Structure 1
């Protein structure tokens, strides 16, 4: 009997290292610094209960039917209203509702890329974006970056080489680095992309989790102010980090010419996002509770960032360096002496603490002494204990 033969694009595709490490997190004795997940203790359960209760009381049977591929009009209006208060130009007619922004990224890739087309990404970048681009058959080229943004001279050189369909980045509190792209760089990047006929995929799941500094206009906002409006930026966002990841509701605001083919791609993918969860989110947004909930999240995450950075400094001294972001969920760290993070992880698992080695976030040539840690789920005592366990793991590797 012959075995079923996988498609070429499915061969060699690996599970996300982050998803695999989440299995360890289910052990109550393990302290996880691995997951990029919002704090479940900060979910607005009263607001969710109000929205669900209203749906059940009013017997909205239509919410259990098929819906519009583009998303329900009421939700698109509520998201448009909210986005407008943030300076993000997102009218109901310009957006598509997606089953989380991860689906939005997949739809953009399906519409834009043919086999072998080039996509430029930050080094390092979001691991699930790498999975999408690899699965679609795009060629991934890394662009060097740091706390001051991307190397735009390198971007320009790559654009001049040709074949670049899109540039993917997370300009606000990037995953995994926590870096934020300065305004001047955003303006120049939009200009470069427009000049070379290249799309920008702006992934913005963390922008509302700013707890320090001043907000910076989105790439979408900058592109929309150009003559002829936005012809470049595909803006992706989600409610996963500020409301609930379980509802799987995100949205795309693409250039107008890309919206129809993206709607067709979504029809082929899942017909539409759940009408029930769309209505839950629409009712929650209409209640006006989100703004105050975001303030709760900002305060909590600032406190948790401070607790973890202090604990790591106390435990490691000069043996670990890291950034200190003004928002988001992550610290991007580097071990001293070029000690590989994967080796430290093996020892850390024995100490019952887990993190994500940095090599997972590179398409090629990873910097193996790097690691990502998340503070979103940690209280002060957990942060201190996590740092102590991580230091014991480091010491064990260095001794060997």
Structure 2
């Protein structure tokens, strides 16, 4: 007899990316599928030193239960970290979450009733689609281009659907790699005020720029748009720049939302690991983050350039893409030129047979999917592997 599972599970399915990983055990396969940082980039010595200091200087706090809102020394360091990026926030103006993924779950729990409209980018982070649908959201997809979400179309959708909130990854988005322009960031803030609508800024990749720094965060720019600060929730993460294994993220939001999110977090995990928080706090306090960021920016920038050049060389006009300026991803579209396939799902199967993996783009769309699109990550392969992997893609096409 089947178990009587909750009806809300009918709205979601397992991650297409996680399912794809089951196919990657084939010897010699080159994977562009994951959204992981390169473990070779982790500052192991710095993290080890920070963990030792946490155990030496604050063992009682690091190994004990802690406040749901977060370990205060880490909240102080995160407030300073955000201050270096133009955001004025007090330590009690943010909560620490178990990765930024938990922040999204808390937003779903606190904000979404079944049937509520929520606007997301098309395409957007797959886990966000799954999370918000789990809570019953009716997702509305806003189109994007190389400069991020189309704010003219976004306004039309906000006026028509009156969403509970708008969710954006404005800086080097997953999967798009797009960077929202300064002009459009300001327009987003104006729209938040005009329609009195919360905007969620998810920013796990903003520090991973290759050359020029991106425009200031939407949260940072809110100081220039009266009334907008109380309509912005900003989610940050240490996962892509320090270590995903620490599971340290944070959320800055209006006080009322933080209070509700903290209450819901009490029900789920009581608090993020205090040992991980104390380690992260010591790491930030030691001042090692700038050097770590410089190292990963250089490595990822070189890999992104190598992948862009290889894609042009090996696939030519059979695909189109915009060269990313940061982050971890290429977002490409099959054109069908020369009679080549336009179906990214079929292309993915052929690619696996050639010993290379990527993620078809369809699952990243909350609305009508573009089945010609696909995502490639350059983060975990060195230049040689990238060139070999893209050559295999050329054979698969």
Whether contact under 8 Å (1:332, 1:370) holds in the other structure is yes
Q: Distance in 2 between matches of 1:27 and 1:86?
A: 43
* Aligned-partner SS, 1:231: helix
1:398 corresponds in structure 2 to: none
Determine if the alignment matches structure 1 residue 270 to structure 2 residue 283.
Answer: no
Q: Distance in 1 between matches of 2:254 and 2:164?
A: 14
Whether contact under 8 Å (2:359, 2:374) holds in the other structure is yes
Determine if the alignment matches structure 1 residue 376 to structure 2 residue 375.
Answer: no
After superposition, give the CA deviation of every residue in 1:78-99 in whole Å (9 maximum; x if it has no partner).
Answer: 1111111111233201000000
Runs of 5+ unmatched residues, structure 2: none
Q: CA deviation at 1:58?
A: 4.9
1:397 corresponds in structure 2 to: none
After superposition, give the CA deviation of every residue in 1:172-216 in whole Å (9 maximum; x if it has no partner).
Answer: 001111110111111111111112121101000000001123431
Q: Distance in 2 between matches of 1:250 and 1:191?
A: 27
Runs of 5+ unmatched residues, structure 1: 395-400
Q: CA deviation at 1:280?
A: 0.7
1:150 corresponds in structure 2 to: 149
Whether contact under 8 Å (1:117, 1:163) holds in the other structure is no
Q: Distance in 2 between matches of 1:315 and 1:233?
A: 43
Q: Distance in 2 between matches of 1:274 and 1:124?
A: 32
Q: CA deviation at 1:222?
A: 2.0
Q: Distance in 1 between matches of 2:135 and 2:277?
A: 28
Q: CA deviation at 1:61?
A: 3.6
1:316 corresponds in structure 2 to: 315
Q: Which moved more, 1:76-85 or 1:152-161?
A: 152-161
Q: CA deviation at 1:228?
A: 4.8
Q: Distance in 1 between matches of 2:367 and 2:213?
A: 34
- Match runs of 1:39-54 below 5 Å: 39-54=38-53
Cα distance 1:158–1:320, how it changes in 2: closer, same or farther (>3 A)? Answer: closer
Q: Distance in 1 between matches of 2:126 and 2:207?
A: 21
Q: Distance in 1 between matches of 2:181 and 2:344?
A: 29
Q: CA deviation at 1:311?
A: 1.5
* Aligned-partner SS, 1:174: coil
* Aligned-partner SS, 1:164: coil
After superposition, give the CA deviation of every residue in 1:141-186 in whole Å (9 maximum; x if it has no partner).
Answer: 1111101332222222222224311111100001111110111111
Whether contact under 8 Å (1:194, 1:231) holds in the other structure is no
Whether contact under 8 Å (1:24, 1:30) holds in the other structure is no
Match of 2:370 among 367, 370, 382: 367
2:396 corresponds in structure 1 to: 393
Q: Distance in 1 between matches of 2:170 and 2:25?
A: 31
Q: TM-score, normalised by structure 1?
A: 0.95
Whether contact under 8 Å (1:89, 1:220) holds in the other structure is no
Whether contact under 8 Å (1:223, 1:232) holds in the other structure is no
* Aligned-partner SS, 1:211: coil
Whether contact under 8 Å (2:189, 2:228) holds in the other structure is no
Q: TM-score, normalised by structure 2?
A: 0.95
1:15 corresponds in structure 2 to: 14
Q: Which moved more, 1:150-159 or 1:288-297?
A: 150-159
Determine if the alignment matches structure 1 residue 339 to structure 2 residue 339.
Answer: no
Q: Distance in 2 between matches of 1:346 and 1:191?
A: 44
- Match runs of 1:238-277 below 5 Å: 238-277=237-276
* Aligned-partner SS, 2:164: strand
- Match runs of 1:50-61 below 5 Å: 50-58=49-57, 60-61=59-60
1:329 corresponds in structure 2 to: 328
Whether contact under 8 Å (1:211, 1:299) holds in the other structure is yes
